[in-house]
Structure 1
Amino acid sequence: MAKVLAVLSGGYADEENNYVTGWWAEELFAPVLALEKEGHTVGLASPKGGKPVVDPMSLSKEYDPEGKYKELYDSGIADKTTPIVDVKASDYDAIMIVGGHGAMFDLAHDPDLHAVINVVYETGGIVSAVCHGPAPLVYTKTKDGRGILEGLKVTGYPNKFEPEEVVGLLPFSLEDEMKKIANYEPASDKEQYAVWGSDQILTGRDPQSSPLFGKELAEKLTSLEKKEEEKFFK
């Protein structure tokens, strides 16, 4: 049974423009359901700990028509998170950075998160992110000074998917930043898209790709566990 750390934005509010964002419900809950189905466990973290702000749009009828993710949110399972600075990264086999525009504001340049990502990566764990979740990976450097995504095939939320009313409020374009260092692919012709840039790096494109992203991560962790068991019993 693998341990996965899910990292959520604490939330961001622009009162002048009446704009509130945070983490996206489907991008947490769909992968968590896939991981738990495989017997893995998920811990939660956010910059300041406590109850992070969910993007209200992600719980709306438009994006959650069956109310599946709203029900999970209302159950309180995402109400308690550990401050990132207090996370013991070596306890985890993988890190999963949840999207939502909030990730671009408070996760992208968080040095404590970068440190956690590096520990997981350098100890052979999986680093994964979905939608806007790759934002902090763009700015994460390995201990030898190389960008963790440098030269890899990656995906994330495409420019053409961004709502026009939001674009001017964002601190940067995720697609543009990823293209500077990696082989970015939107795969717009596919309903869901998640890609392994290496054996340790997984990225997913958008909320609709969350189930596939979660399935890929869960199955890879199960596969790695089985290989470890086989080594042990040889």
Structure 2
Amino acid sequence: MSLHDTNPRQPAQPKRIALVIANPAVSTTTGWPVGFWWSELSHPYHVFTEAGYAVEIFSPAGGRCEADAMSDPNDASGYSRHDLISQGFIHTPSLLAQVQATRPVTDIDLAHFDAIVVAGGQAPMFGFEHATALHTVFAAFYEAGKVAAALCHGVAILAYVKDSHGRYLASGKTVTGFANVEEDFADQAVWDYGLLPRGTHVMPWRIEDRLKALGANFVQAGAWRSFAVRDGNLVTGQQNFSGEATARLVIEALGR
């Protein structure tokens, strides 16, 4: 028997997480290239692997994925410079390779995984509407009683996912996601820096407004506060500072 065999963080049959990041897209409102957000991948990945879980990375279409620039701790903006967890992920070749060659969500075997977690970034707002295979697999996890989770703009998936009865999955559920107060902040920032004309919004629609219109009980903790909420086996996280909180609720829902 090796030390690896006796490591309590590496159980013989670990919980398995399908972690989905967005494929690259182009914003229809700004014309900018958009992608996933590093901390919404790296922070949950860190929490899950520290708990002894096995994590595999997928994207709706598979292939190479690109992150939103400001989420990179090495970006000139300095916005994410303190994100040491993402820094570690980016500089670990075996982990970075998984982002550069993601598997498509059609490869997700429901029987093989205990939970699906959909990360955000800006790209979900422009690419998830037509990601029908992701809609299907997300609903399948939920209806099988497995954990279905989404984070930040990844919660955009709930604007499209319906259950087997044709009802929106978000209807009647308590959820969170990127909040209007945060969208207001983002819009004001790009106006102040002269990146967009005043009155032009960064996002084509808002998660809080859309999910409320679908009958969800949308809750949030205020701008840029770490926050996640669980409603049965549905877990949602508010924004890019909520990756750890989201992952810990997934672990709670799985019973460790």
- Would you say same fold, with TM above 0.5? yes
Question: 1:217: which partner in 2?
Answer: 250
- Identify unmatched segments of 5+ residues in structure 1: 226-234
User: How far is the alpha carbon of 1:97 from its aligned partner?
Assistant: 0.4
Deviates more, 1:75-84 or 1:4-13: 75-84
Q: 1:72 aligns with which of 70, 74, 89?
A: 89
Residue 36 (structure 2) pairs with residue 23 (structure 1) = yes
Given that 1:90 and 1:119 are in contact with CA atoms closer than 8 Å, whether structure 2 keeps it comes out as no
Given that 2:43 and 2:243 are in contact with CA atoms closer than 8 Å, whether structure 1 keeps it comes out as yes
Structure 1 140/15 Cα, relative in aligned 2: closer, same or farther at 3 Å?
closer
Question: 1:3: which partner in 2?
Answer: 16
User: How far is the alpha carbon of 1:48 from its aligned partner?
Assistant: 2.0
Secondary structure of 2:244's match?
A: helix
Given that 1:40 and 1:218 are in contact with CA atoms closer than 8 Å, whether structure 2 keeps it comes out as no
Q: 2:146 aligns with which of 125, 141, 144?
A: 125
Question: 2:59: which partner in 1?
Answer: 46
Q: Kindly report which structure 2 residues correspond to 1:78-97, keeping only aligned pairs within 5 A, or say none.
A: 78-97=99-118
**TM-superposition CA deviations, 1:120-156 (whole Å, max 9, x none):** 1122100001111111122101001111111111100
User: How far is the alpha carbon of 1:106 from its aligned partner?
Assistant: 1.2
Secondary structure of 1:133's match?
A: helix
Deviates more, 1:12-21 or 1:155-164: 12-21
Secondary structure of 2:58's match?
A: strand
Residue 113 (structure 2) pairs with residue 100 (structure 1) = no
Residue 25 (structure 2) pairs with residue 12 (structure 1) = yes
TM-score with structure 1 setting the length: 0.87
Residue 181 (structure 2) pairs with residue 160 (structure 1) = yes
The structure having more radius of gyration, on CA atoms, is: 2
Structure 1 169/208 Cα, relative in aligned 2: closer, same or farther at 3 Å?
closer
Given that 2:43 and 2:85 are in contact with CA atoms closer than 8 Å, whether structure 1 keeps it comes out as no
Structure 1 14/129 Cα, relative in aligned 2: closer, same or farther at 3 Å?
closer
How well do the aligned residues superpose, as a CA RMSD in angstroms?
2.1
Residue 228 (structure 2) pairs with residue 194 (structure 1) = yes
User: How far is the alpha carbon of 1:16 from its aligned partner?
Assistant: 9.2
Cα distance between partner residues in 2 of 1:14 and 1:189 = 23
Cα distance between partner residues in 1 of 2:29 and 2:241 = 30
Question: 2:70: which partner in 1?
Answer: 57
Deviates more, 1:59-68 or 1:128-137: 59-68
User: How far is the alpha carbon of 1:88 from its aligned partner?
Assistant: 2.2
- Identify unmatched segments of 5+ residues in structure 2: 1-13, 191-195
Structure 1 41/81 Cα, relative in aligned 2: closer, same or farther at 3 Å?
same
Deviates more, 1:169-178 or 1:153-162: 169-178
Given that 1:109 and 1:139 are in contact with CA atoms closer than 8 Å, whether structure 2 keeps it comes out as no
Q: 1:115 aligns with which of 93, 115, 136?
A: 136
Corresponding residue pairs, total: 222
**TM-superposition CA deviations, 1:167-199 (whole Å, max 9, x none):** 6242321111011120001221783211012x2
**TM-superposition CA deviations, 1:59-88 (whole Å, max 9, x none):** 133123254313312431422211122322
Q: 1:180 aligns with which of 213, 221, 226?
A: 213
Secondary structure of 2:138's match?
A: helix
